[in-house]
Structure 1
Amino acid sequence: MDQGNTAFVLFSAAFVLLMTPGLAFFYGGLVKAKSVVSMMMLSFGSLGLIAVLWVLYGYAITFADIDDAGWVGIPHIIGIDTNAIGLAAQVADAADPAGAFPELAFVSFQATFAIITVALISGAIADRAKFGAWMVFAGLWATLVYFPVAGWVFNFIPSDQGGWIVDKLGAIDFAGGTAVHINAGAAALALAIVLGKRFGFSKGIMQPHNVPLTLIGAALLWFGWFGFNAGSELAADGVATVAFINTIAAPSAAMLGWIIIEKIKHGKGTSVGAASGVVAGLVAITPACASVDPIWAIALGLVAGVISALAIDLKFALGFDDSLDVVGIHLVGGLIGTLWIGLFGNGVGLAFGYGFEQLWIQTVGSLAVLAYSFVVALLLGLIIEKTMGFRVKAEDEIAGIDTVVHGELAYSFGSDKD
């Protein structure tokens, strides 16, 4: 067992786990003061639920040997490894690891990816979603979408028996542009359509209630993202250092790109825009962090910052209420970063004379995840809305849903009792 790499993977997992509370802060600052508890609880609820499901059966689905474990008659697409249910085999391996580090270290690392992916979706339904309905959706979507899709991408078994997007199709996605960001962004679009628009939805009417909270969240996300990207190498080596520096370069450039667009459009750059640009750059560099040189990471960041800053207005043009711009940042940014590999990826990019093949492969992988996630999320959302109801009552939404859903207020500036 390599103790150095074991420590690297475990610390990377801890970094990525911190991203979910960071996301709660980032989202929480952007909503109304009377909805911040509800908004943050969607992230924390995801953390609790998905962690449990991951241990019970999520890892078993995601990292099955597809050739030996076809599920519901779809071999090579979805499988389940019965030996990994409840992680019994992985616990046994920890006593005498068969690899460079105990498999449980990898299990833990990948668990944090599952958690943050589900939590990302919640930003599209801010201010109007029932907590119980969200938890039902989160569990079903993780089971039917995230666990299989993560297997398509991250189940990189060298014997060509792993996930079809990486092993069969040949797409490149180092840390989750497809499985995490396109996946979550497509589901967010579906739920925004199902739940409909917030009352008073219009450009400029929904202002962040706590900008410093959003900036704290962005800082925690950026910190955790080093574990997300560099940690995906699963070794403290040169590739990890490339991913690390690109995780500095791309979001920094994206922040500048977003601020420039704000300055051109509105005459001033905002701190929320800067934070959003950072996240857009982090999203875009995620799949490409080990495949591009730092100069191309800067270019990618600039492009992602500019396009995402423009893309967030699509909800007004197309009439869907993606409350906190999950579609404009995560879906669009994930697509940009994944396709960027086909254009400027080392050894495969069209710009370097390698033809269109990798770009085509990246496109097919991206669209497959987008379509699958959107359709399943739309169906799940509609079923939940028609049965238990997904959206709170109109009067509760107008008043603020924290006290109705959770019986709490985020801020209390005095009390009748000492």
Structure 2
Amino acid sequence: MESKKSTIPFVFLLILVVLALIFPSIPLNDVNSVEYDPADVAWMLTSTALVLIMTPGLAFFYGGMVKRKNVISTMLQSFICMCLVAVIWVVFGFSLVFGESIGGVIGNPATYFMFDGVLGGPNWPGAPTIPFALFAMYQLKFAIITPALFTGAFAERIRFTSYILFVCLFFILIYAPLAHATWHPDGLLANMGVLDFAGGTVVHMSAGVTAFVSAIYLKNGNDRNHNPARVTYVLIGMGLLWFGWFGFNAGSAFGANELAASALATTTTASAAAALAWIFFDAARGKKPTAMGVSIGVVVGLVAITPAAGFVSIPHSLIIGVVTSVICNLLVEWRATRSNVDDTLDVFPSHGVGGMIGMILTGVFASTKINPDIDTNGLIFGETSLFFAQVLGLIGAVIFTLVMAFIICKVTDTISKLRVSPEEEEMGLDLSQHGESL
């Protein structure tokens, strides 16, 4: 299909070039005047690359699950986030998340506009041994993969141009406020005592709940019988995600230290336990062990341990993986057999619910012996304040995301129709949206 000509992309690029000329972001300080820890810098450079490779991994993971006629479109929805969010991040996105706090809910967009003051800027308090620019680039990779996660909910039925607008609004209205409230020292959730080591609330719950709302808003696909295009793609994607997740969780220690090693270990064991629990639970109900089941089990375990990775012991990580795997397995089956919600690739049961369980179990198993930087232990150690903070934070984040996700769907659909036509859906998004095919 021939696309309509538009001057909007050209105007966007022109504005971007003008801004780059006006705000060259020259370092305010001599970047060589501050001494950093070389090991920490090396590990965080590596972790930044590891987290970025998760997005191509997600593209393979989702691309292998959809119908053959939608593989390219589904994979491109992940890849385009690497481009779109990176530009937003440099212009004003980083400021929204880590800029001067406005009421604990959002950062001042002018703080680091066009990355002004980032290169050679003062170290971030939570990452004092690495350059501020490296901290900013590491955090960017989280912002990139988050909108890519919810693409599985409306796979095979969303217009690509509308999806781009949807991602922009999601970042501004959901991701940035949640990330600021959780990870900024003056953030609302941070001041409540909510713990989120690497993104249970910020990444997985925000994406999962948005997926749930958007799946309902876009209504069911014309054909809900999903025959995966290529299970081998799913396995490759799972491998890349698992590989990159070590940067996701262990990198959130912001240094080559014992906490990073602990987070790496809990990430390994939770995901492995979750994968085994998934196929063993299937076997107990008379089902065959499948490559798809192992892959989803691994990812569910990774999601659940994300908020807890730097706060819990290795034995407790096994419990987190097993408990989350069984609950998510049941929810995935319920969604497919008894629910009318066409969350195509089960983003909400896997990421949304997995992130919620991880947040709650962080409040159960977190220990000051694992991470001395936290003030209180989890429920299992007889202390209750952290657990209730986690639950209240979870409820608040879910309600906020539900409301904002519906607004984003409505606004996007008003400006640019979200769903493809029945004819385009039947043709497949590869051809109807991109004029390409496998």
TM over 0.5: yes
Deviation track 1:256-298 (CA, whole Å, cap 9, x = no partner) reads: 1111222233421111010000000000000001111111101
How do residues 52-67 of structure 1 correspond to structure 2 at under 5 angstroms? 52-66=87-101
How do residues 362-401 of structure 1 correspond to structure 2 at under 5 angstroms? 362-401=390-429
- Give the corresponding residue for 1:246: 266
Checking the alignment, whether the CA contact within 8 Å between 1:10 and 1:108 is kept in structure 2 is: no
Q: In the alignment, which of 207, 213, 221 is matched to residue 233 of structure 2?
A: 213
- Give the corresponding residue for 2:216: 193
1:313 aligns with 2:348: no
Q: In the alignment, which of 203, 223, 229 is matched to residue 180 of structure 1?
A: 203
Distance 1:39 1:99 in 2: 39
Deviation track 1:315-349 (CA, whole Å, cap 9, x = no partner) reads: 34331111111101001110111100121221412
Q: Provide the secondary structure at the position in 1 that maps to 2:116.
A: helix
Deviation track 1:132-167 (CA, whole Å, cap 9, x = no partner) reads: 000000001101111121111121x3xxxx21111x
Deviation track 1:175-232 (CA, whole Å, cap 9, x = no partner) reads: 110000011101111110111111132xxx2121100000000000000000000000
- Give the corresponding residue for 1:50: 85
- Give the corresponding residue for 1:336: 357
Checking the alignment, whether the CA contact within 8 Å between 1:262 and 1:270 is kept in structure 2 is: no
Give the alignment's TM-score, normalised by structure 1.
0.91
- Give the corresponding residue for 1:325: 346
Amino acid at match of 1:301: G
Distance 2:115 2:362 in 1: 35
Distance 1:231 1:193 in 2: 35
1:382: Cα distance to partner? 2.0
Q: Provide the secondary structure at the position in 1 that maps to 2:69.
A: coil
- Give the corresponding residue for 1:274: 294
1:99: Cα distance to partner? 4.3
How do residues 146-157 of structure 1 correspond to structure 2 at under 5 angstroms? 146-155=175-184, 157=185
Checking the alignment, whether the CA contact within 8 Å between 2:263 and 2:309 is kept in structure 1 is: yes
1:297 aligns with 2:317: yes
1:406: Cα distance to partner? 0.5
Structure 1 residues 81 and 387, CA gap change in structure 2 (3 angstroms)? closer
Distance 1:195 1:172 in 2: 33
Distance 1:314 1:194 in 2: 20
Structure 1 residues 131 and 81, CA gap change in structure 2 (3 angstroms)? closer
Distance 1:33 1:375 in 2: 34
Distance 1:120 1:313 in 2: 20
- Give the corresponding residue for 1:345: 366
**How many pairs does the alignment contain?**
392
1:165 aligns with 2:189: yes
Checking the alignment, whether the CA contact within 8 Å between 2:162 and 2:417 is kept in structure 1 is: yes
Amino acid at match of 2:311: S
Q: Which runs of 5+ in 1 are unaligned?
A: 411-418
1:372: Cα distance to partner? 1.2
Checking the alignment, whether the CA contact within 8 Å between 1:230 and 1:244 is kept in structure 2 is: yes
How do residues 21-170 of structure 1 correspond to structure 2 at under 5 angstroms? 21-66=56-101, 70=102, 75-80=103-108, 82-93=110-121, 99-155=128-184, 157=185, 162-166=186-190, 168-170=191-193
Q: Provide the secondary structure at the position in 1 that maps to 2:289.
A: coil
Deviation track 1:2-42 (CA, whole Å, cap 9, x = no partner) reads: 22211111110110000000000000000000000010011
Distance 1:267 1:4 in 2: 47
Distance 2:200 2:229 in 1: 30
Mean Cα deviation higher: 236-245 or 307-316:
307-316
1:49: Cα distance to partner? 0.5
Amino acid at match of 2:202: A
Structure 1 residues 197 and 319, CA gap change in structure 2 (3 angstroms)? same
RMSD of equivalent CA atoms: 1.7
